[in-house]
A and B are shown apart, each in its own frame.
Chain A
Amino acid sequence: MVNRNVGAGAARVVLVRAFVYLALLAVVAVSLFPIYFALTTSLKQTRDAFTTPPTWIFTPTLEHHRFIWLETPFPRYLFNTLVITLGTVLLSIPLGCMAAYYLARYRSRPIQVLLFSLLAVRAFPRILLLVPFFLVARAAQLYDTHILIILIIVAFNQPFAIWLMRGFFLDVPRELPEAAMIDGCSSFQAFLRVVLPVVRPGVFTAALFTFLFAYNEFLYCLILTGSHAKPLSVAIAQYGAEKIEYWSWSAAGAVGILAPIVLFIAVMQRHLVKGLTFGTLKG
């Protein structure tokens, strides 16, 4: 009797296990499949790409990748994306750092309100600001410049970056900068030399998210950039060609845009998870 019960229990455990694994396998497959599909499409000869049933085994070719990165303006768009992302991170993070430090050290009612309104920016219908941005940019001759896009992305990114880093700054004991100041540091030096090294993981995480945010921005870039400052995200969406190879080229472009993100996530996964959960749970 007892034995049978244990046997049934064990069988149930195995069943549950099997179910969990199968379900997770399905989730992993669904997550990966679109990416896998784009990758293989970009590597297939065009005649193999759109058959039904799909060709699972094929001779790979790098021709489409070569074409998109050497014979179209895509390198130019890549350069624009790099300028925009790096510019955003370099502007957003130092500014956000100081703001977060300030907000973490001085906790008063108005500051709590300020924090909350910062978060409210997230809810904002961005399209509402698009018209004024567009008109002002045209008037100020900033249309289609990198700096315009950088400033806008920074403005939208700041709430999240500040909020995220503030969580890390909150964990720094007050005594730390104070001790440094007693030892003769100015308050800015204390911040730079003593506090900043302690919160480095937080700053790093905020930088990662800022990078992704700028890299992925679409709507503002679509309207506010033209041939000069257009980034990859807009270029791939607008990319069109008359020829049948269009799909293959487009897939090659998409894979090129995905590749850095995939690498990035694979390497930084732990930082992203830790950073986001940290900020969220503190919030």
Chain B
Amino acid sequence: MTVLAVILVYPLAYSLGLSFYNYYLPVPRTTFVGLDNFRFILADDAFWEALGVTARFTGAAVAIEVVLGIAIALLLDARIPCRRFVNTVVLLPMAITPAVAGLLMRWMFESNWGLVNYFLGLVGVVGPGWTGDPAWALWSIIFADVWQNTPFVILVVYAGLQSVPVEPLEAAMVDGASRAQTLAHVVFPFLRPLVLFVLIIRSMDAFRIFDQVFVMTGGGPGTTTQTITFYNYVMAFRQLRMGRASALGVITLLILSLVIGAWIYLLYRREKGEW
């Protein structure tokens, strides 16, 4: 445990320290520059753009995943044939290597021979250039993420549905509640903590998306799909600005803790108030 803590905490401290230095990798000398790195990033348009891209990505992807996930979990909960097979297939994308999933999705969204545009063509829609089109590139990645991560939502919600206590369901039936009413008043309140859990986990994961961006668009076209993590990667390992990249990392950490903290606080507070 201690060793593990060291593996995580020491680099964190190191990184924090580094963020106050000017460290350009090819030049072995580092100079203390105080808050210059932070000042640079806060004045950097690319940073704000990356933040916006990340926020749009996280918001859209997580919203679609949660809604779809709950819907599909409800479907799976109905009595269906070959349940085992269906469950396996539906959960499969979750386990696939994200880099490979990104590759698969890049092929699906390929504008000339990709299957997405082929199927769109069948129903008479001329598909956009997807990953090559500034307006649609981010959506390609959002769809890729939805494909890969909706199963996680399904899994947790489905598990929740399986363990809804029987008594209130029976009571609702005795009282003559319709299926919709039962869902709204018995099942959903029970699911709520799970949905919150999923929402938080998925947001945290989506916020640091990298693999699919790297494989599908490389941040492009231009910088239209450059997320915070990707921008940080570019800064550190293409521009070799180690100090500045550390500062960006620290800023990201602060933003993330603030957002997640505020969110958990608000959600759980409301939760307590209602109970």
Contact = CB atoms under 8 A, between A and B. Distances in A.
Interface in A99-141: 99, 121-136
Interface stretch (A181-189, A194-202, A232-240): A232-240
Interface of A: 20-21, 23-24, 27-28, 30-35, 37-38, 41, 50-54, 95, 99, 121-136, 151-152, 154-156, 158, 212, 215-216, 218-219, 222-223, 232-234, 236-237, 247, 250-251, 254, 257-258, 261-262, 264-266, 269, 272-273, 276-277, 280-281, 283
Contacts of B102: 237
Given A38-B104, A127-B210, A130-B236, A54 B252 contact: no
A52 B112 contact: yes
Contact of A261 (B90, B97, B204, B236): B97
A51 B14 CA distance: 53
Interface residues of B, number: 75
B123 interface: no
A261 B215 CA distance: 20
B159 A273 contact: yes
Interface in B51-105: 72, 75-76, 78, 80, 84, 86-93, 95-105
30 contacts: A31-B92, A32-B89, A34-B101, A37-B104, A52-B112, A54-B115, A54-B118, A123-B260, A125-B207, A125-B228, A125-B253, A127-B249, A128-B252, A129-B8, A129-B15, A132-B10, A135-B242, A218-B98, A218-B210, A218-B211, A223-B237, A233-B97, A236-B99, A237-B214, A237-B215, A247-B107, A265-B92, A269-B91, A273-B87, A280-B159
B97 to A, nearest CB: 4
Contacts of B12: 128-129, 132
B27 interface: no
B140 interface: no
A273 B92 CA distance: 12
A41 B115 CA distance: 12
A34 B119 CA distance: 13
A34 B104 contact: yes
B99 A234 contact: yes
B88 A265 contact: yes
B95 A212 contact: yes
A218 B253 contact: no
Interface of B: 1, 4, 7-8, 10-12, 14-15, 18, 72, 75-76, 78, 80, 84, 86-93, 95-105, 107-108, 112-113, 115, 118, 147, 151, 155-156, 159-160, 162-163, 194, 197, 201, 204, 207-208, 210-211, 214-215, 228-229, 232-233, 236-237, 242, 245-246, 249-250, 252-253, 256-257, 260
Quick one: which of A158, A223, A264, A269 has the most chain B CB within 10 A? A269
Contact of A276 (B112, B159, B237, B252): B159
A250 B72 CA distance: 32
A128 B113 contact: no
Given A24-B75, A237-B99, A277 B201 contact: no
Contacts of B214: 218, 222, 237
A251 B95 contact: no
A27 B229 contact: no
Nearest to A33: B115
B8 A28 contact: no
Contact of A127 (B1, B92, B197, B208): B208
Contacts of B160: 281
Contacts of B107: 34, 37-38, 41, 247, 251
Nearest to A155: B7
B156 A152 contact: no
A41 B96 CA distance: 18
